[in-house]
Amino acid sequence: MIIIYVIILISYIECNPRKMNFNNDNFILLKINKTGVSNIIGSTDYIYGPLKVKEIIINNISQNETKQGYELNSNGNEIKLIWDIKLTKTSFMFFACNNIIEIDLSNFDSSEVTEMNYMFYSCFSLVSINLSNMDTSKVSSMYSIFYNCQSLTSLDISNLNLSNVENTESMFIGCFSLTSIELSVFKRNKIKYMEGMFSQTNFIFLDLSGFDTSHVIKMNSLFSNSKKLVSVNFSNIITSEVTNMEKMFYGCSELISLDLSNFDTSKVLNMKWMFDECEKLIFLNLSNFNTLKVKSMENMFGSCIKLSSIELSSFDTSQVEDMEQMFCNCQSLTLLNLSNFETSKVSNMKQMFNRCYNLIILDISHFSTSKVKNMEGMFDECKSLYKLDLSNFDTSQVENMADMFIFVSN
């Protein structure tokens, strides 16, 4: 494998006179993992900054023109990208540059940069990023900045100033080789959007106790499909401004216990798929959940196959319109107290209790169903259910009752 290497420190260069003299230029250094045509800057269809690259130097030779891809050979050991201005946006800078294995930004002047969206997006081979001297004090958006950096094994963001950042959506998605991240750097910020921030990662433990979430509006898919996540510290979390928690823990198949008793959900409108496919979850504390404004609870607890009980006494469902598959495939539930459920606005109860194999008692005699249009498979495969009073059910608007009681043996 041919390695294209760029010197990191001026002192090091001085000890190696054959290396180029970088002086005080505003530059970025790269290392590439193979020869042939390689992209060393992002797609020119989207990129902001590198269109203004002053010079590209490969192995001490200045290129005649600055372009996206270069033919690299065994003599190509050094790549240096030089700017003669201060960039204000670095979004898409290394977008899909999947042959780069190291990026050193320690001599890059980012003091005026406000956007870093997709900056390292899909840099599949990237192993190391030096962010030690990065000035991010003016950055407001880091949307998908490290998205799909599959080979990163460590990432030091401890020196970054994130005080003005508002968007960290999808920040670490697909960083499969990262197993931990220090989040204390987020203790002071303005983040409003953090949907999918830790989604599709292999983090085992996340400590959000020092993470300032007081401005956050969206937490949907925050940890979705993080299939190795075992524990999250929410001890000081503030969720009073959050409106969306859809798929927040979706597919977190290793989570065993969740204590969300300190969650303020008073502004949340969407909780659908929130805990769906948390297959090992046996304890769930929602004791202080305020669901007064929630409109959708579709699949909220779907496939929580180990959960034997759910305390829902704090739930106010008066505004809920969709309860499709809400408890679908909750195979270990034996009792379910829904006495406080108000369902007058619900139009969809499709497969609401489908495959609740061990549910013995279910009292929904008080349910208001005057607006329900779909009851398909509502009690499908509730094999242990021996008593069910539906005498007050108003089915005048129901359009679909297919398989409503199929395989209900009792």
Q: Note whether residue 349 is domain-resident.
A: yes
Residue 349 has pLDDT above 80, yes or no: yes
Which tokens is 102 given?
């190291």
Q: Note whether residue 389 is domain-resident.
A: yes
Domain that holds residue 383: 317-410
Spell out the long-range contacts of 306-309 with Cβ–Cβ below 8 A and sequence spacing 24 or more. 306/279, 306/280, 306/281, 306/282, 306/332, 307/278, 307/281, 307/282, 307/332, 307/333, 308/282, 308/332, 308/333, 308/334, 309/333, 309/334, 309/335
Residue 410 has pLDDT above 80, yes or no: no
Q: Note whether residue 34 is domain-resident.
A: no
Greatest Cα pair distance, the chain, in angstroms, is: 90
Residue reference for tokens 């699949």: 299
Decide: helix, strand or coil at residue 11: helix
Residue 371 has φ and ψ, to the nearest 5°, of: -110, 0
Q: Note whether residue 383 is domain-resident.
A: yes
Q: Which of 20-34, 182-196, 318-332, 375-389 comes out lowest in average pLDDT?
A: 20-34
Residue 341 has pLDDT above 70, yes or no: yes
Per-residue pLDDT band for 3 (boundaries 50, 70, 90) equals very low
The letter for the amino acid at 73 is N
pLDDT single digits (tens) 204-241? 999 999 999 999 999 999 999 999 999 999 999 999 99
Domain count, the chain: 1
Q: Note whether residue 354 is domain-resident.
A: yes
Are the beta carbons of 115 and 89 closer than 8 angstroms? yes
Q: What is the mean pLDDT of residues 21-38?
A: 70
Q: Note whether residue 360 is domain-resident.
A: yes
Q: Note whether residue 350 is domain-resident.
A: yes
Q: Note whether residue 323 is domain-resident.
A: yes
